[in-house]
Amino acid sequence: MLRYVLRRLLLMVPTLLLITAVVFAVVKLAPGSPFSAAQSSGEAAVKQMNPQDYQALLTRYGLDKPWYIQFGRWLGNLATGSLGDSFSERRPVGEVFFSTPLSTFSKTGSVGAALNQFLSSKFGATLFLNLLSLAIMCAVAIPIGFRAAARRGGWFDKISGVLLYALYSLPNFWVAVLLIMLVGVKLQWLPFIGMHSDGFESFSAAGKAWDLLKHAILPALCLSYGGLAFLSRFARGALLDVLGQDYIRTARAKGLGEGAVLRRHALRNALIPLLTLAGILLPALISGSVIIEQIFSWPGLGQMYVKAIYTRDYPLIMAESLLGAVAVLISNLLTDVAYTVADPRMRLE
């Protein structure tokens, strides 16, 4: 097992190099530069520059070199543990992600204060939103899929299938606007802008947690509902496949009731194929949160990624692309390991 994990980790290095090289080349193919974007946005200091000063600015940051030379410099900085400095934020990319250097989290004085500071960062905000979406998706979709399989062809199976596929066909940005107008504006049940209410710092610990959850419900629902149909039908198919196995027929032949067969033999084995999806659900949610964070003004990495593309902020774009690639590769590795632990019949060479 250890040798397999080490081999997979080593294979991640060339994979990450290829992914980041492709992303960097595509980004550099886009016309313009961070400073031409600043000119178009009306920043006075850049807009008033003469061509010589503008060229000197490109030379200072190495943006006048071919893309592969710039990529080599970025890799050199990455090897030293630096993601570079953001052009638009004018500070290190790590501080942009976490709002403060990571070393300060151990100096906050309490676990609650450190957690609050982490959730207030862009990385923490996106991670919290996506973990909540994943929890909602699994908590709703898996029971629905298993119940539909246990009563195959019944009214619950048919109605749930139609409703979930109807949800799957609705674009999440349209549903987001609909929820804002209905739940947020007309009924005023939940907030729909930002991550905190005014006066958040004066709330108690329970009040802060409740306020954060209220702001996250609508964007989390918009992120999770699309995967409900896919995950529930996958769970249904997995359970139906297990129910057709010989050991299930043997258990029934021994006189076990249907409920006991499901609880003792079927459900656990049906969960094993669902581990395959665990490796792609969270990275897929993170990529989908780019649009949702924009709509709900959620201060996370998705909103920052859109801004970085508009401003040609190459260090930020590369850092977020690297983060997404690492998340996908690590989640796939953990899925393979979890699959082996859950199913002793499988052995990793």
Same domain, 319 and 273: no
Same domain, 113 and 208: no
Q: Can you give the pLDDT at residue 346?
A: 56
Q: How many domains is the chain built from?
A: 2
pLDDT of 106 > 60? The answer is no
- Tell me how crowded residue 290 is: count the other CB atoms within 10 A of its CB: 18
Same domain, 62 and 126: no
How many angstroms separate the Cα of 28 from the Cα of each of 40, 68, 93, 317? 18, 10, 19, 11
pLDDT of 237 > 70? The answer is yes
Asked whether the beta carbons of 230 and 169 are under 8 A apart, the reply is no
Q: Can you give the pLDDT at residue 105?
A: 47
Tell me which residue range forms the domain holding 86. Answer: 1-120+311-349
Q: Can you give the pLDDT at residue 45?
A: 52
Instruction: Look at the pTM and tell me if it is higher than 0.85.
Output: no
Lowest mean pLDDT across 128-137, 183-192, 279-288, 314-323: 279-288
CATH of the domain at 209: 1.10.3720.10
User: Of 271, 287, 306, which marks where a domain is finished?
Assistant: 306
Residues 6+ apart with CB under 8 A from 156: 147, 148
Give the mean model confidence (pLDDT) for residues 11-39: 79
Same domain, 191 and 245: yes
Same domain, 185 and 284: yes
**Element holding 243 (H helix, E strand):** helix 205-243
More confident residue, 308 or 114: 308
Same domain, 281 and 172: yes
Same domain, 28 and 142: no
Q: Can you give the pLDDT at residue 216?
A: 92
Residue 22: half-sphere exposure toward Cβ, Cα within 13 Å = 7
Give the mean model confidence (pLDDT) for residues 241-255: 83
CA angle 239, 244, 249 (to 5 degrees): 115
Same domain, 130 and 116: no
**Residue 348's pLDDT band (boundaries 50, 70, 90)?**
very low
State what percent of residues in the chain have pLDDT above 70: 85
Same domain, 52 and 85: yes
Same domain, 68 and 133: no
Q: How far apart are CA 155 and CA 266, in angstroms?
A: 22
pLDDT of 282 > 80? The answer is no
Q: Can you give the pLDDT at residue 103?
A: 47
Q: How far apart are CA 333 and CA 15, in angstroms?
A: 13
Same domain, 201 and 288: yes
Q: Can you give the pLDDT at residue 109?
A: 54
- Tell me how crowded residue 215 is: count the other CB atoms within 10 A of its CB: 23
Average pLDDT, the chain: 80
Same domain, 49 and 60: yes
